[in-house]
Amino acid sequence: MDLQTSVGKQNEIVLNFAKHVIATTDAKTSNLVFSPASINVILSFLAVKSGGSTANHILSLLQASSITELNAVSSKVITDVLADSTATGGPTISVANGVWMDKSLPVEPCFTSLVENTYKANFNQVDFGTKADEVVEEVNAWVENQTRGLITDLLSFASPETDLIFANALFFHGRWDEEFNPSLTKDSDFHRLDGTKLRVPFMSAYASYKHRLEVYQGFKVLHLPYRGGSNYLEDNRFSMQICLPDDKDGLHAMLESLSSCRGFLNGYIPGQCVSIGEVKIPTFKFGFDFDVSKALKGLGLETPLEKIVHKACIEVDEVGTKAAAATAVSFCGGILRPQKKYDFVADHPFLFLVKEYRSGLVLFLGQVLDPSMH
């Protein structure tokens, strides 16, 4: 299995999935953030556990050749791509899986081996029949601990009929390779989709050689790298990409265009690299939660016997980015550089994503409609 190829195939549904999240939630009028990486681990486990038509549909969605490939990708993502690099000066990253299975069910050795060795999950036998509320508290406490307190109350309830809960928790804290000077942060106008505007703090920078700007037809993409580890050749490399439409109200049209454009998230469609003038980006901090099952219906995947919930949050400031996400499934029953300099002023709604370059893994994706919304 080639990890980059497999992750690249999984990336093909990310932007389409984002469209369905927006269509099935209040994200039509609010900020949005979710973790494709976390959700894909859950989908891979769902394919393993469910089998049959559900597994076949997930294989089709993620363009995987087999359950074995899905397991291998999840294992590699958990152990290698999302390996913590705090010790070498890179981002602080934590990823964990947990399984809570009703004690009345038979424990198959091959299942526990998969859970513990492939998905690196904590395995717990619990009593859903008489202590479902206590199990929910236990899962929520585990998620809160794994995400450094950023994600709380992931699950609202579990029924006595619940057989198993599988949860994934992801935490990311990266510092910009070149931090923004707080003294340059000033309030400025941000234009919302409805034509109104508000004053919010904008970080500013000028012509940094560490920032990269690509121009496409109708939008620009700014790449902001996070500080890497001391071993540049071996360590993973993370960055934030901000996709800014040229038109103040062009976010939806840009997302529509990008979601129908194969290969964009994998870097197969390079824009025109241009010189950077001024960079202005609003600080923002917010969370978002939704029922993944409803959004998956838009992609043709019905999960009537399973409920999948997801919560994520992100904070972006002059120093860097702190973000976390948790997902749980409950089973019931190049062009020549021009001399012109381009400013990048994100003063209207935009998309963002946090990505690891070598593998192409998208950790977080979202939209900012109003930076002042928390």
- In this prediction, residue 234 carries a pLDDT of 62
Give me the CATH topology for the region 177-284+336-368. Answer: Alpha-1-antitrypsin; domain 1 (2.30.39)
- In this prediction, residue 337 carries a pLDDT of 36
Q: Which of 330, 327, 332 is nearest to 292 (CA)?
A: 327
CB 280 within 8 A of CB 26: no
- In this prediction, residue 229 carries a pLDDT of 65
The tens place of each residue's pLDDT in the chain, 374 residues long, gives: 799 999 999 999 999 999 999 999 989 899 999 999 999 999 999 999 988 999 999 999 999 999 999 999 999 999 999 999 999 889 999 999 999 999 999 888 899 999 999 999 999 999 999 999 999 999 999 999 999 999 999 999 899 999 999 999 999 999 999 999 999 999 999 999 999 999 999 999 987 778 899 999 999 999 999 998 656 556 688 999 999 999 999 999 999 999 988 888 887 777 889 999 999 999 999 999 999 999 999 899 988 878 999 999 999 999 999 999 999 999 986 323 345 778 899 999 999 999 998 899 999 999 999 999 88
- CB under 8 Å to 204, separation ≥6 — which residues? 180, 181, 184, 185, 186, 278, 279, 280
Q: Which of 118, 79, 116 is nearest to 101 (CA)?
A: 116
- In this prediction, residue 341 carries a pLDDT of 78
How far, in Å, CA of 169 to CA of 371, rounded?
Answer: 25
Which CATH number is associated with domain 3-174+285-332?
3.30.497.10
- CB under 8 Å to 161, separation ≥6 — which residues? 128, 332, 333
Sign of the torsion angle spanned by Cα atoms 83, 268, 73, 222: positive
Q: Domain ranges in the chain?
A: 3-174+285-332, 177-284+336-368
CB 165 within 8 A of CB 131: no
Q: Which of 39, 114, 17 is nearest to 72 (CA)?
A: 114
Q: Determine if the pTM surpasses 0.95.
A: no
Residue 160 three-state SS: coil
- In this prediction, residue 338 carries a pLDDT of 41
Q: What is the DSSP letter of 336?
A: P
Give, for 365, the enclosing helix (H) or strand (E). strand 362-368
How far, in Å, CA of 131 to CA of 138, rounded?
Answer: 11
